[in-house]
């Protein structure tokens, strides 16, 4: 495992530790108050723990070097982890909704609300700090695995905020059905987050193109080299976990020597890798005078 991957692993271990602590705090808050909203919040933290452990295992798998059966590496394993996490979020939402509906039909009074809310607020603060670190690292390292875990924890923070608001309103108004109503709203928000993670995982597994900002930087590099005697076409990009892939056909004068063509491609590929870090670049050289070169743009030649 490289230095960068070891850093990602440490962040995921931090997520595991945060999940253990918040489960204990939120379960305590539920036991003190009897709030189904706080119970739903604790259930989501349990999902966080399972997701973080799965993410750790996936990071180890994704960091394995290319082998004879996986020539392009194993980075796509991150999409399986993110998809599984999204699925677990959806399952947690269904469980929360079931508990909330039961309490909505049979409301119950809450106990020791102040102490329970203080404990839940402390747990949310822990999740907020860890979520921000994971999201920053996920964007910096182009890791959907870290980003998924960070978004999951951030959803937990918003969930806790909603639950705390709901339980506080119950204490202030005496309307007991506000507690399960807030829990149902929390479940709906969790469904949205889980669905987004599942959709992004599917996009990755389907070789989705690079983000628009990356595509713009790539085109800027190509435009800088284009001229009356140099052209580019058949640009294709895809994302595979933390690794990016791009291919492009480069049309140059047929009179260039192999050495001249190769030297030119080295310059283009260098700047493309600079524009999109961690990118693997494939170029295909063609003579610009040959009409067949311009017709060779389809995926299947």
**Which segments within the chain are labelled E, that is strand?**
231-240, 243-252, 279-287
| Contacts of residue 8, Cβ cutoff 8 Å, sequence gap at least 6 | 59, 137, 141, 143, 145, 146
Q: For domain 212-295, give the fold.
A: Alpha-Beta Plaits (3.30.70)
Q: Average of pLDDT values for 118-142? A: 84
> In the predicted model, what is the mean pLDDT of the chain?
81
Mean pLDDT value across residues 199-211: 78
Crossing angle of helices 113-140 and 36-62, in 10° steps, is 20
- Kindly report the CA angle at 49 between 44 and 54, in degrees rounded to 5? 120
The tokens for 178 are 């506000």
pLDDT on residue 35: 75
Tell me if 99 sits within 8 A of 36, measured CB to CB.
yes
Domain ranges of the chain: 3-205, 212-295
- Indicate if 212-295 has the same CATH topology as 3-205: no
Q: Give the separation between CA 241 and CA 124, rounded to whole angstroms.
A: 29
Bridge-partner residues for 170, per DSSP? none
Between 239 and 95, the more confident residue is 239
Mean pLDDT of 15-43: 80
pLDDT number for residue 2: 59
Q: Which of 189, 164, 192, 190 is nearest to 179 (CA)?
A: 164
Q: Are 289 and 253 in contact (CB under 8 A)?
A: yes
- Domain range 3-205, its CATH number among 1.20.1510.10, 3.40.50.2000, 3.40.109.10, 1.10.645.10: 1.20.1510.10
Q: Which residues contact 65 (CB under 8 A, 6 or more apart)?
A: 73
CB 171 within 8 A of CB 110: yes
């Amino acid at each position: 495992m490289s230095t960068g991957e070891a850093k990602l692993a440490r962040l995921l271990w931090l997520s595991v530790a945060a999940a253990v602590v918040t489960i204990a705090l939120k379960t305590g808050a539920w036991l003190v108050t009897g709030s189904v909203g706080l119970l739903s919040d604790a259930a989501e933290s349990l999902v966080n723990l399972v997701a973080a452990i799965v993410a750790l295992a996936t990071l180890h798998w994704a960091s394995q070097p290319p082998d004879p059966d996986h020539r392009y590496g194993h980075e796509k394993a991150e999409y399986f982890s993110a998809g599984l996490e999204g699925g677990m979020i959806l399952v947690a939402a269904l469980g929360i909704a079931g508990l909330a509906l039961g309490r909505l039909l049979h409301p119950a009074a809450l106990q020791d609300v102040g102490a329970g809310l203080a404990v839940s607020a402390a747990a949310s603060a822990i999740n907020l700090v860890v979520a921000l670190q994971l999201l920053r690292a996920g964007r910096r390292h182009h890791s959907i695995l870290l980003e998924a875990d960070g978004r999951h924890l951030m959803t937990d923070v918003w969930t806790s905020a909603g639950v705390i608001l709901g339980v506080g309103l119950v204490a202030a108004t005496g309307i007991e059905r506000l507690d399960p109503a807030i829990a149902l709203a929390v479940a709906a928000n969790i469904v949205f987050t889980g669905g987004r993670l599942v959709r992004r995982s599917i996009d990755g597994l389907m070789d989705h193109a690079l983000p628009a900002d990356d595509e713009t930087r790539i085109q800027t590099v190509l435009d800088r080299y284009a001229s009356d005697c140099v052209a580019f076409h058949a640009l294709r990009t895809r994302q595979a976990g933390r690794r990016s892939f791009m291919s492009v056909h480069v049309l140059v004068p047929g009179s260039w020597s192999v050495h001249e063509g190769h030297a030119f491609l080295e310059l283009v590929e260098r700047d493309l890798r600079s524009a999109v870090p961690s990118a693997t670049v494939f170029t295909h050289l063609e003579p610009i005078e040959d009409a067949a070169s311009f017709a060779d743009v389809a995926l299947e030649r």
